[in-house]
Amino acid sequence: MRMRFHKTLFGQVVIALVLGIIVGVVWPDFAAKLKPLGDGFIKLIKMIIAPLVFCVVVHGICSTGDLKKVGRVGVKALLYFEVVTTFALALGVLLAYVLQPGVGMNVDPHSLDASAMAGYAERVTQATSTVDFLLKLIPTTFADAFAKGDILQVLLLAILFGCAVAALGERGRPVTLAVDSLAHVFFKVIGYIVKLAPLGVLGAIAFTVGKYGIGSLKQLGMLVALFYLTCSIFVVFVLGFILRLAGFDIFKLLRYLREELLVVLGTASSDSVLPQVMRKLELMGIKSSTVGLVIPTGYSFNLDGFSIYLTLAAVFIAQATNTPLSLPDLLTILAISLVTSKGAHGVPGSAIVILAATLSAVPAIPAIGLVLVLSVDWFMGMARALTNMIGNCVATVVVGVWEKDIDRERALRVLNGEITVDLDAVPLDALAEEREALVAAGPLTTRQELASRS
């Protein structure tokens, strides 16, 4: 018997989205005060991400037992990220150049309020410095990475720690088991927090509608509409084609992740579902070692939605301020964006900061034009977060196929709805280890044990 709509997480989040919009429209002043609900939910999720990523990556590396394979997965993931990100950047430039959302606005750069950018100016240098970005990957202390919640720093520690434990062989097995057990505890904690997702979505969407109002989209509606269209084209056609080559259907994957997509839509943050997404991909049939490496790395190196935003907004600002762009200018925007987009995750106000850093390398475009997109940044942030999340999920599936780290039969059955996934279930890797132990114990024991589990 199917669970009633309002009792499922998907149904509750949908109801929360509708209620949030109604509250924002009818009681805008009250709705603007609900922001702490969304912020609190995201903070609850973020507090658990760092230790969870550490445990998943360490256990994944140790269970693999092949350090060369870990390196191979990392290289393939980075190669995939660069190729797909380039497609996203190019698509943003192409559609902005062809559809010209900013043409006709005739904005005088000198008439824009420079004070609106004051809070972002100090962070631009941080975003543009490649050396600082690389040094930032190294935490001051082991605990500092967890205190800051910096995913890349935690990932670096996890890889080093996991490789060290794997190199110890049998002596490191107690550590592996302890880390795996700890990961189960963190996933259980996430299960409790996720129950608050509808409340977080209600607060976030009510605040957005109450503060900015539907009318805030009128002046820059063409830019927002084009951005959503571009992200949709990228997901359906580019990511859909890539996933089809891997043997899967993009629409079935989106349906499988529908609860997480709605939470991201409501909170405009892909961080809010990172643990659940990792768990779902693992239960879909992808090895934890691949999930643990690709997803956290992708959060900094595979920001497809963010890449589209950078090039689309840059060309829009040029058009709105009547700044002519030559082919070399467009190619410069592409090249610079390919670098600056990698430092986006973890930078406060990253969208505007990284866009400012990108424009600073293209003197022809007035950087003050960033003021034009400030009022609709939140609305665009929803599509950015959704596209980033979908892109990283597709990347994990593709790398899993490349490395033969995916149970294709199970994945197809899960996506077809033939298998219902329970986030509290035992990870597939753990079940595989148990089955091997049962087989070693004898045919009778294997049949009895497996029968008791079914």
The answer to whether residue 408 scores a pLDDT higher than 80 is yes
User: Is residue 139 scored above 50 in pLDDT?
Assistant: yes
Residues 321 and 439 in one domain: no
Looking at the structure, do residues 338 and 385 belong to the same domain, yes or no? yes
Taken in order 46, 48, 50, 53, the sign of the CA dihedral is negative
Report for 1-15, 250-264, 322-336, 354-368: range of highest mean pLDDT: 250-264
Q: Do 246 and 374 share a domain, yes or no?
A: yes
Q: What is the CATH number of the domain that holds 382?
A: 1.10.3860.10
**Portion of the chain with pLDDT greater than 70, in percent:** 77
- Give how many domains the chain has, as a whole number: 2
Convert the pLDDT of each residue in 96-114 to its tens digit: 888 888 777 666 666 555 5
pLDDT, average across residues 156-162: 86
Could you tell me if 101 and 143 lie in one domain? yes
Mean pLDDT value of segment 357-383? 75
Q: Model-level pTM? A: 0.73
Pair (92, 180) in one structural domain:
yes
CA distance 203 to 446: 50
Could you tell me the pLDDT band of residue 1, with boundaries at 50, 70 and 90? very low
Q: What was the pLDDT predicted at 187?
A: 80
Residue 111: exposure state from Cβ atoms within 10 A (0-12, 13-18, ≥19): exposed
- How far apart CA 144 and CA 154 sit, in angstroms, is 9
61 and 93 co-located in one domain: yes
Mean pLDDT across the chain, nearest whole number? Answer: 78
**Percent of the chain residues past pLDDT 90, beyond the cut:** 16
Does residue 306 sit in the same domain as residue 431? no
Structural domain range at position 14: 5-423
Q: Please check whether residues 334 and 442 belong to one and the same domain.
A: no
Among 131, 120, 166, 168, which residue's Cα sits nearest to residue 367?
A: 120
Split at pLDDT 50, 70, 90, the class of 450 is very low
Confidence of residue 214 (pLDDT cuts 50, 70, 90): low
* Same domain? 394 vs 447: no
Model confidence pLDDT, tens digit, residues 68-84 = 777 788 888 889 998 99
30 & 105 share domain: yes
State yes or no: pLDDT of 442 exceeds 90.
Answer: no
Are 432 and 418 members of one domain?
no
pLDDT in tens, 229-282: 999 999 999 999 999 999 999 999 999 998 889 888 877 777 778 888 888 999
pLDDT value of position 158: 86
Same domain, 31 and 63: yes
pLDDT at position 259, please? 87
Q: Mind listing the pLDDT tens digit for each residue in 279-293?
A: 899 999 998 888 888
